[in-house]
Structure 1
Amino acid sequence: MKVSIGFNRHLEPDWLAQTASWVANGIIGDELKSRIDSMLSPVFDSQVAKDKTRNLLFGIWAKLPKRIPGQFQADGARLMMEYSEYHLAFHWGMMLAKYPFFVFVVSQIGRLTKLNDTFMYSQLEQRVTENYGDTSTIKRSMQFVVRTLMNLGVLANPKQGVYQLQKPIKIDVPNVKAWLVEANVLSEQLSSRSLNVINDDPVWFPFELSFQAHELTSNQRLELYHQSSGVVVFL
Structure 2
Amino acid sequence: MTADKFQIGWSQRIRLEWLERTANLVLAGNDKDTVFASLQQDLQDQLSIGGTAKRGNREKVITILMKLWSVPPRHLQDFRNRGLNLLQVLPVKQHLLVHWGMATAVYPFWAGVAEQTGRLLRLQGHVAAAQVQRRIRERYGERETVSRAARRVLRSFMDWGVLEDSGKKGVYVQGRNLPVDTSESMGWLIEALLRAGSRDSASLHSLMHSPSLFPFSFSGSVSLNTYSGLEFMRFGMDEDMVMLSK
TM-score normalised over the length of structure 2: 0.88
Do the aligned partners of 2:179 and 2:219 also contact (CA within 8 Å) in 1?
A: no
Q: Which runs of 5+ in 2 are unaligned?
A: none
- Give the Å deviation of 1:190: 1.4
The correspondence for 1:5, drawn from 8, 32, 42, is 8
- Give the Å deviation of 1:205: 0.6
Q: Which runs of 5+ in 1 are unaligned?
A: none
Count, aligned residues: 233
- Give the Å deviation of 1:211: 6.4
The correspondence for 2:200, drawn from 188, 191, 194, is 191
User: What is the rounded CA distance, in whole Å, between the counterparts of 2:16 and 2:209 in structure 1?
Assistant: 27
Q: Report the counterpart of residue 80 of structure 1 in structure 2.
A: 87
Moved more, 131-140 or 50-59: 131-140
Give CA deviations for 1:152-179 in whole Å, capped at 9, x if unaligned. 0011122202111113111212221122
- Give the Å deviation of 1:140: 1.0
Counterpart of 2:10, as a letter, is F
Question: Helix, strand or coil: the match of 1:143?
Answer: helix
Q: Report the counterpart of residue 14 of structure 1 in structure 2.
A: 17
Do the aligned partners of 1:9 and 1:53 also contact (CA within 8 Å) in 2?
A: yes
Pairing 1:152-167 to 2, within 5 Å after superposition: 152-157=160-165, 158-167=167-176
Counterpart of 1:224, as a letter, is F
Do the aligned partners of 1:7 and 1:145 also contact (CA within 8 Å) in 2?
A: yes
Q: Does 1:208 align with 2:217?
A: yes
User: What is the rounded CA distance, in whole Å, between the counterparts of 1:188 and 1:197 in structure 2?
Assistant: 13
The correspondence for 2:107, drawn from 87, 99, 117, is 99
Q: Report the counterpart of residue 230 of structure 1 in structure 2.
A: 239
Give CA deviations for 1:51-110 in whole Å, capped at 9, x if unaligned. 001001111222222332x22101111211211221110110001101111111110001
Do the aligned partners of 1:24 and 1:74 also contact (CA within 8 Å) in 2?
A: no
Question: Helix, strand or coil: the match of 1:148?
Answer: helix
Quickly say closer, same or farther: Cα 1:98–1:190, change in 2 above 3 A.
Answer: same
Give CA deviations for 1:29-59 in whole Å, capped at 9, x if unaligned. 2121111111111212134111001001111
- Give the Å deviation of 1:198: 0.7
User: What is the rounded CA distance, in whole Å, between the counterparts of 1:211 and 1:64 in structure 2?
Assistant: 32
Q: Report the counterpart of residue 115 of structure 1 in structure 2.
A: 123
User: What is the rounded CA distance, in whole Å, between the counterparts of 2:220 and 2:66 in structure 1?
Assistant: 29
Question: Helix, strand or coil: the match of 2:154?
Answer: helix
Counterpart of 1:203, as a letter, is S
The correspondence for 1:136, drawn from 115, 137, 144, is 144
User: What is the rounded CA distance, in whole Å, between the counterparts of 1:29 and 1:126 in structure 2?
Assistant: 37
Give CA deviations for 1:172-194 in whole Å, capped at 9, x if unaligned. 12221122221121111112222
Do the aligned partners of 1:199 and 1:211 also contact (CA within 8 Å) in 2?
A: no
Quickly say closer, same or farther: Cα 1:112–1:101, change in 2 above 3 A.
Answer: same
Do the aligned partners of 2:69 and 2:80 also contact (CA within 8 Å) in 1?
A: yes
User: What is the rounded CA distance, in whole Å, between the counterparts of 2:220 and 2:28 in structure 1?
Assistant: 29
Quickly say closer, same or farther: Cα 1:208–1:221, change in 2 above 3 A.
Answer: closer
Runs of 4 or more, structure 1, over 6 Å off, are none
